[in-house]
Chains A and B, each alone.
Chain A
Amino acid sequence: MLKLLVVDDEADICDFVRKFFKERHFNVFVAHNGESALSILSKERPKILLLDIKMPGMNGMETLKAIRERGDDVKVIMITAINDTATAQQAKKCGAEEYITKPLILEQLEKTVLTIARQIKVKAR
């Protein structure tokens, strides 16, 4: 089972996304801020990261930069408010795979994650 980490300060979102991907056969971990995301990353080494940009404390951008500085090549999908696409584009430059705007289209989230998961599996073979 592929490990997936969801990082969002909103508990409802984490719960929903966790259940959603659990049912799609992922091993889902949850973090509510950048700091705990980094610690789960080093401990569990998830392959895919769903990262909210706006969070108190260490935000998504800072977290992404820290991840890349550590040389971690986890696939990152940034999730951002619709009016913050400029930041999201910047995030792509910083090494994010994709960005999705909130409110999001559920199938789009599903498709993005499943596509990346497939690529990872193909590579691993």
Chain B
Amino acid sequence: MRGTVTEIPACAGMTKKVYYMPYEDNWLKVQDWIVDKMRNCDGALIPLERDGWQERQEPELDYQYILENASHTMIRFKKPERLIRMIVRIIDEQVKVTHTAMLLYDGSNKFFNIIDSKGEEGLKIPIGFLRITLDNPLVRMFKERHNYRLSENGVLEYKELLDIGQKDEDIKKDKDLVNLIELVVRQMELLKANVCIPIVYKKELMGIFVLGKKLSNIKFTRQEIGFFKTLANDVAMALSNAHLIQNLQEKVMEVHRLYEREHSLFVHTAISLAAAIDARDPYTHGHTERVTRYALAISEELEDLPEAEAYKNFKETLHIAALLHDVGKIGVTDSILNKKKQLTKKEYEKVKEHSITGAAILYPIRELGDIAKEVRAHHERFDGMGYPDGLKGEEIPFVARIIAVADTFDAITSDRPYRQKKMAEVAVQIIKDNSGTQFDPVITSAFLLTYRKGKLISAV
């Protein structure tokens, strides 16, 4: 149904042919279609609501009904320029006026500009040709809301203004207003305007809708004036919607930019911190960076799991946690860290404290609070035999389980003072053998998959 136009032929029970209007998409085509249908209109135009058909009596003025519906749809689509183009075009073709123009306030230049216009040769005010400044009497009239003293609906009609100063006693007494009316009359003469309608939203003058004479030279009916007023309101609504949306989009962009900046600052801080840890331990040089790379590579196979989705930002948590997993080594003395021989049991116990120390360092930092528990748990074993808390299976945070595998893989494949460098194949075998005991089998298989895809070998 979308974007297409369907004609339902007259059938039993229907006295009139009914056209159904498409709901959205392709508005320019639809505008053409509307105008075309109005030219030889033999039926009412009925908008198709999402949830079914809607019936309505044929309106008194076909174009009015069509335009009203179309404009309400436009407001929903937040396309003020299109709405304005369509209004100007339909008024020109259907209402049959000498000319019509829509002026909109340009906030950056502080004047009103002709956005769209149509009309007879010489009467059509060229688009972008003239500006109406804030000190223009017409603008002052609308901004100071004197127009509501002159007419109930705030619409200014040239002929009414001509003798209103004589007819109305109240106005007659207000010399300033009488002067202003004279100046406004002169402005309307310059534009050859018969009717000027303010486009107002929340008391803010957003534009002015200008109409010439009817080609038939007959006065506009009250109904027509009321209708123009409705259109002006629609334009105001569409404009303010569009402004709101634009503001919102700008705000979202701003927040996004701020977030990006802070986030990159944050990651960079973590990277420098990690580099500082690495620098203290020459034998594990580059360890943090490699573990981070492996962990991120493995995580690509795990992203869709509910455990990953449970994180607010899985990738980021993993990235930061991997960078900081050994931050606690700051608390381990150089003599132990740099020892070339096998560590004594006591020394090993000291080294084991680094996961607790790391978590303790990170915990008080608001942004790193969630990372702390991952760091604390990165030496836990799936079977509950790890440290420091002996967590088991799912009790171990998911990110920590990934880091455990990446950490082990790097420990085996890289040079350590107490272990010879081993081949990657050996490391893979060890991890496979310890799946379900030391490592989470799900993560082991993700690791194996990543390894087979060559995403870890190239990194070794």
Contact = CB atoms under 8 A, between A and B. Distances in A.
Do chains A and B stick together as partners?
yes
Interface of A: 10, 12-13, 15-16, 18-20, 82, 102-107, 110
B126 interface: yes
Given A103-B113, A103-B114, A106-B190, A15 B124 contact: yes
Contacts, number: 43
B168 interface: no
A13 B125 CA distance: 8
Contacts of B129: 12-13, 16, 102-104
**Contact-residue size bin, chain B (C-beta under 8 Å from the other chain):** 10 to 19
Most buried by B among A10, A103, A104, A106: A103
B304 interface: no
A51 B282 CA distance: 79
Interface string B95-124: 000000000000001010110000001111
A104 B122 contact: no
Contacts of A106: 130, 190-191
A55 B319 CA distance: 59
B199 to A, nearest CB: 18
B125 to A, nearest CB: 6
Nearest to B127: A12
Contacts of A12: 124, 126-127, 129
Nearest to A103: B131
B122 A19 contact: yes
Contacts of B122: 15-16, 18-20
B128 interface: yes
A13 B126 contact: yes
Most buried by B among A102, A104, A105, A110: A105
Contacts of B130: 103-106
B133 A105 contact: yes
A12 B130 CA distance: 12
Contacts of B121: 15, 19
**Closest 10 CB pairs between A and B?**
A19-B122, A103-B131, A12-B126, A15-B122, A13-B126, A15-B121, A106-B190, A103-B130, A106-B130, A16-B126
